[in-house]
Amino acid sequence: PVKRSQEIQLTRMELPICEDEQAIMEAISENSVVVICGETGSGKTTQLPQFLYEAGFGNPESDNPGIIGITQPRRVAAMSMSKRVAQELSLDDQRVSYQIRYDATVSSKTVIKFMTDGVLLRELSGDFLLSKYSAIIIDEAHERSLNTDILIGVISRVLRLRKELSEEDKSKIKPLKIIIMSATLRISDFTQNRRLFDIPPPVINVNARQYPVSIHFNKRTPHTNYVTEAFKKICKIHTRLPRGGILVFMTGQNEISILCKKLRNKFPSDRTHRNRTVIREEPPIDEHNEYIHKGYSDRIVDHEIEELAMGENDQDYLDHHDDFDTNSEDSITEFENDVLDNEYAGPLYVLPLYSLLSTRAQMRVFEPPPEGARLCVVATNIAETSLTIPGVTYVVDCGKVKERRYNASTGVQSYVIDWISKASADQRAGRAGRTGPGHCYRLYSSAVFNDQFQQFTVPEIHRTPIEGVILQMKAMNIDTVSNFPFPTPPDRDQLKKAEKLLRYIGALDENNQITSLGRAMATFPLAPRFSKMLIIGQQHECLPYVIAIVSALSVGDPFIKDYHLDGTDSDDGGDEDELVDYVQTKELNEIQKEIIFKKERRKLMRKKFFDVQKKHSGLDPTSDILKFLNVVGAYEYSGGNEKFCEDNFVRTKAMQEIHKLRGQITKIVQANCQEVDVCIDPKMKPPSAIQLEALRQIIAAGFIDQVAMRKDLVDGMTKTFSSTRGIAYSTMWTNEDVFIHPSSVLYHGKPPDFVVYQELQRTNKVWMKGITIIKPE
Ligand code: ADP
Ligand code: MG
């Protein structure tokens, strides 16, 4: 018997999918695979698990006693959706749970489990039958994330096995049900792929009452400054158009913060702020703004990560990769002065929305805005299909998305902001038509849309390193990866490169069969090279350090990049905010004093930042990676408090994740290698000289294929250098010269002969990041 509150009962009734409950449940009972297509917001994610639950799935006494599993490409969706479903069913989080890499609420009582697709993939290598599940819902399949694609392939095999085994003895194991859910109709890669499913699964289209959305293209396409364009557009909508929420698509956290700040200044949501104060030291702290204030300190920047294996979707991290932001605040400010003051506009309730925002802050988009205020959510493409924001009438779409591009043959990756696909643009527009007719303002011209937008987004498997999944698949005894039923198979070169790399690090033998080392590596939820470092890390009692290093490398550089220290990119020229107020109030002297004061403070902060970097690099800076080790050790030593993070310019959220991952890896090591004795010692001593040497070797072994040699040595001449600036290195994967990134601790020293690097990244040049010196014998 399900208990639902009156209010929830009523909102549920309005969801289009509830009309199809019976048809859906019939299809599921008659078929092992069912595909459900339905517009974002039609109720797929929140309702399907409940349909299954009410039909007896997850009930030990029923025919389908196993739990109901739902996968999500994004962590935030896994967490927030499990909360929502728990609430709708009036069950606690032990029964309706989630599991993501760092965190879980699952228990022995769990009946509905939301998880990232990476989590389920890892479970598969331990239990290929997925015997604890009765149904698996694969959500957001249209996104075509790497893990989702692989999961669908693997599960098609699990399905057969479960069927065969249950036919042998039904009392032992029951068949499994698969539900694939998509927000678009582009599903032929799943339904028409005979290698995947020999009987094409039935497709149920949820008839979402979608209201018409008028599309307005810009006459011209602004080349760089779409943040400014967006700001202007929002101002116009808010001052001139009737009520209705605004949803704005931007590409990353930095842009979102800038835009939110500007909007909040222009249209304070609390009326008492309408007479703007001249200098505001603190962001407003009315109720809904308080977390944005907090957001200042854990603003996340430059978060490249090397976590390529079975971790969570990259998307979570992309939001924070702000190396290449082209948008500045300048031109927004210009425009700000133009908006006529006699155009009355009520308060605007501005909320940011991106993956790493705390769940609590994310949940606010579901709450109604304060009385009389208009809701304006500024989001990444997380709002494209994963989360549905109620009450949106206007969509402002910059037409861009941030993506990691990866060149499989050279290993060089770059983060680019590029045009979305036509399909994405339509999804975004569709967000305006959920509750009534809407409008979508595209900040690009129809010519650009027609000529430069691809029809569909390229599946992730074609643009990302796949060695992690290949190893995982080998560990599931899927030997011939080339025969695997990928929805869209990766190209041969990419498969070959992945296998080559796995051979290099000893995970595969010369016949590409998994080795025992490879099997051991596959037990860790990490990129294969990190797993290798752990496995060889037992010398000289180095394991606790290696665990800390690998955790930090998996989460990504925890340091805040210096120029973001006070949240602005501008080196000088003061804060635009103040300049606006300066013009408006003409209180020159006071203002000037303030500006000078702020500049001085920024200078001081910057000096402190570099001092911290030096401190963590040690007296002998030989490795960026050992710098991470040092800061992780110091953080634990401090008891893991926020003050430490602030003083040391590291991101609190990253440090917390590193802490959690350390705990998890320690547990896995304890479980797998009974002979070693590891625990997390909060007062871990810094490594000795011998240990440091060993750690450098372990790091080198993990990155054995990523050695770079100074170019003059390759050429046979030895020069002497006074700095690393402009000194070229050669690597084995690419013919291009590569350089030491300015953020490296090695940048200011002499250029070493040999280094290993953690990653190559292209901006104007190809840069090495995460560098460690290899000391010659
Ligand atoms: P779909 O998966 O088809 O895109 P969802 O099941 O995610 O649809 O959403 C259905 C409805 O539930 C939407 O109108 C959405 O706004 C609402 N909803 C989802 N999560 C919450 C929440 N945490 N609080 C309130 N409403 C929510
Ligand atoms: Mg959904």
Q: What is the pLDDT of residues 225-281, one digit of tens each?
A: 899 999 999 999 999 999 999 999 999 888 899 999 999 999 887 643 333 333 333
Ligand 1 atom at shortest distance from the alpha carbon of 38: 3
Distance in angstroms (rounded) separating the CA atoms of residues 630 and 653: 17
Distance between the two ends of the chain, CA-based, in angstroms?
A: 71
Q: Which residue has the higher pLDDT, 336 or 721?
A: 721
Instruction: Say how many Å lie between the CA of residue 755 and the centre of ligand 1.
Output: 50
Which tokens is 58 given? 């997850």
* pLDDT on residue 283: 31
Helix (H, G, I), strand (E, B) or coil at 374: strand
Q: What is the pLDDT of residues 599-615, one digit of tens each?
A: 788 788 878 887 888 88
**Using an 8 Å Cβ cutoff, are 457 and 425 in contact?**
no
- 43, pLDDT greater than 90: yes
Q: What is the pLDDT of residues 515-559, one digit of tens each?
A: 999 998 888 878 899 999 998 888 778 999 999 999 999 888 888
Residue nearest to atom 12 of ligand 1 (CA): 43
What is the DSSP code string of 487-509?
SSPPPHHHHHHHHHHHHHTTSB-
> What pTM was estimated for this model as a whole?
0.76
Q: What is the pLDDT of residues 695-735, one digit of tens each?
A: 999 999 999 889 999 988 877 777 777 778 889 999 988 88
Distance in angstroms (rounded) separating the CA atoms of residues 204 and 29: 14
Average pLDDT over residues 128-132: 94
Ligand 1 atom at shortest distance from the alpha carbon of 206: 3
* pLDDT on residue 227: 93
Instruction: Say how many Å lie between the CA of residue 85 and the centre of ligand 1.
Output: 9
Cα angle, residue 189 at apex, residues 185 and 191 outer, rounded to 5°: 75
Instruction: Say how many Å lie between the CA of residue 362 and the centre of ligand 2.
Output: 15
Ligand 1 atom at shortest distance from the alpha carbon of 83: 23
DSSP collapsed to 3 states, 635-669: HHHCCCCHHHHHHHCECHHHHHHHHHHHHHHHHHH
The ligand whose atoms approach the alpha carbon of 85 most closely is 1
**Using an 8 Å Cβ cutoff, are 581 and 276 in contact?**
yes
Ligand 1 is surrounded, with C-beta below 6 A, by 15, 38, 40-47, 80, 84, 363, 366, 388, 390
Instruction: Say how many Å lie between the CA of residue 45 and the centre of ligand 1.
Output: 7
Q: Is the sign of the CA dihedral 441, 443, 447, 449 positive or negative?
A: negative
Residue nearest to atom 10 of ligand 1 (CA): 43
Ligand 1 atom at shortest distance from the alpha carbon of 46: 6
- 513, pLDDT greater than 90: yes
- Band (572; pLDDT cuts 50, 70, 90): very low
Q: What is the pLDDT of residues 87-98, one digit of tens each?
A: 999 999 999 999
Q: Which residue of 50, 84, 185 sits with most ligand 1 atoms within 8 Å of its CB, as the best mutation to test the pocket?
A: 84
- 582, pLDDT greater than 60: no
* pLDDT on residue 2: 84
Average pLDDT over residues 643-668: 88
| φ, ψ (nearest 5 deg) of residue 320 | -105, 5
Distance in angstroms (rounded) separating the CA atoms of residues 755 and 707: 6
Instruction: Say how many Å lie between the CA of residue 37 and the centre of ligand 2.
Output: 10
The ligand whose atoms approach the alpha carbon of 141 most closely is 2
* pLDDT on residue 65: 93
Distance in angstroms (rounded) separating the CA atoms of residues 468 and 126: 16
Residue nearest to atom 23 of ligand 1 (CA): 84
* pLDDT on residue 218: 92
Total number of residues shown for the chain? 777
Mean pLDDT for the chain?
Answer: 82
Instruction: Say how many Å lie between the CA of residue 41 and the centre of ligand 2.
Output: 7
- 306, pLDDT greater than 50: no
Give the Å distances, CA to CA, from 775 to 69, 230, 699, 737: 49, 52, 12, 22
The ligand whose atoms approach the alpha carbon of 81 most closely is 1
User: Which residues fall within 8 angstroms of residue 68, CB to CB, at 6 or more apart?
Assistant: 49, 52, 53, 57, 58, 111, 112, 113, 133, 134, 135, 137
The ligand whose atoms approach the alpha carbon of 39 most closely is 1
Distance in angstroms (rounded) separating the CA atoms of residues 70 and 45: 8
Q: Which residue of 184, 209, 366, 427 sits with most ligand 1 atoms within 8 Å of its CB, as the best mutation to test the pocket?
A: 366
* pLDDT on residue 465: 81
Checking ipTM against 0.95, whether it exceeds it is: yes
Q: Which residue of 17, 35, 46 sits with most ligand 1 atoms within 8 Å of its CB, as the best mutation to test the pocket?
A: 46
Instruction: Say how many Å lie between the CA of residue 426 and the centre of ligand 1.
Output: 19
Average pLDDT over residues 6-14: 90
- Band (773; pLDDT cuts 50, 70, 90): very high
Ligand 1 atom at shortest distance from the alpha carbon of 386: 4
Instruction: Say how many Å lie between the CA of residue 387 and the centre of ligand 1.
Output: 7
Average pLDDT over residues 211-222: 90
Ligand 1 atom at shortest distance from the alpha carbon of 39: 3
* pLDDT on residue 409: 64
* pLDDT on residue 518: 93
Average pLDDT over residues 730-756: 89
- 294, pLDDT greater than 80: no
Instruction: Say how many Å lie between the CA of residue 15 and the centre of ligand 1.
Output: 9
Q: Which of 129-138, 287-296, 572-581 has the lowest mean pLDDT?
A: 287-296
* pLDDT on residue 674: 67
Helix (H, G, I), strand (E, B) or coil at 255: helix
Residue nearest to atom 14 of ligand 1 (CA): 41
Instruction: Say how many Å lie between the CA of residue 47 and the centre of ligand 2.
Output: 9
Distance in angstroms (rounded) separating the CA atoms of residues 104 and 107: 9
Ligand 1 atom at shortest distance from the alpha carbon of 47: 6
Ligand 1 atom at shortest distance from the alpha carbon of 40: 4
Instruction: Say how many Å lie between the CA of residue 215 and the centre of ligand 2.
Output: 24
- Band (570; pLDDT cuts 50, 70, 90): very low
The ligand whose atoms approach the alpha carbon of 11 most closely is 1
* pLDDT on residue 604: 82
* pLDDT on residue 203: 96
Instruction: Say how many Å lie between the CA of residue 55 and the centre of ligand 1.
Output: 21
- Band (330; pLDDT cuts 50, 70, 90): very low
* pLDDT on residue 96: 97
Nearest to 555 by CA among 770, 742, 358: 770
Residue nearest to atom 7 of ligand 1 (CA): 45
